[in-house]
Amino acid sequence: SNDMAVPDIKEKWSAIVNTVTIGATSEQGGTRSSTVSVGGAAGLGALSFEGPLGNRPAIAVEVWDSGGDTLPPALREVYGDSLNSAADWAKKAVEFGAEMICLKLQGTHPDGGDRSAQQACDDVKAVLGAVGVPLIVWGCGVHDKDNEVLPRCCHAASGENCIVGTITEKNYRTLVAACLADKHKILAESPLDINIAKQVNILASDVGFALENIVIFPTTASLGYGLEYVYSIMERIRLAALTGDKLLQQPVLCNVGFEA
């Protein structure tokens, strides 16, 4: 008989990815009818024999504050008139099964409509009123404008435990203060660079924001660097998390709709 045992090639991981919950029900001080938890993996994706995979990936449907008429025809056909307002668009997305809404405030961009902070607040409140699912609120990416708009939006959604973003290496203090005050999670952005991903988390942590309340967006460029570069950065972040680096144990968000 052949007594040679098959060697065990399973990796042994020492840590797990943080679990982050988005949304707050009335018992938790919000008005959401549901919450979503992400993270919690104790091994690499799909390798469930190495450890629990944690919460399944959550999908948020993207809704814009304006500009729905520029969507591809196939999407315009499905959404119809609901694209004329963020609240109706969000409601339609939830009818289609969205477990979260990602409200993109792209119309606040100085070159994209330059909508005001007040308009953005109204949009956030309208979406919160229209649907019961948790909310991601995403600024336009122009630092000065986001610093004016996002704190107001944080306050408008106070207690709802949204994810608000993004903070970057060069721009984090204003949004961190707002998310601390109004009890939201934060989305930390870095340009496909594991060291900067870590640095943004350090900066947020240094001004009092808990590492457990951060979700990271290492960016997802579809051209230029290419997919291999993108997912190898994500893989390195996850390997760091599983080997115990607390500065990279955050769940990862991918901006798939926009990049597609």
CA distance 157 to 179: 10
CA distance 137 to 76: 22
Cβ–Cβ under 8 Å, residues 217 and 183: no
Segment 72-99 mean pLDDT:
97
Whether residue 225 is predicted with pLDDT greater than 60 in this model: the reply is yes
Name the DSSP class of 252: B
CATH topology for the 19-259 domain: TIM Barrel (3.20.20)
- Please report, for the chain, the start and end positions of each structural domain, with discontinuous segments joined by +: 19-259
CA distance 61 to 41: 23
Convert the pLDDT of each residue in 144-193 to its tens digit.
999 999 999 999 999 999 999 999 999 999 999 999 999 999 999 999 99
At CB < 8 A and 24+ separation, what contacts does 225-229 make? 225/192, 229/192
Amino acid found at 64: W
Classify residue 170 as exposed, middle or buried by CB count within 10 Å of its CB (0-12, 13-18, 19+).
exposed
Half-sphere exposure of 133 (CA within 13 A, CB side): 24
Segment 225-246 mean pLDDT:
91
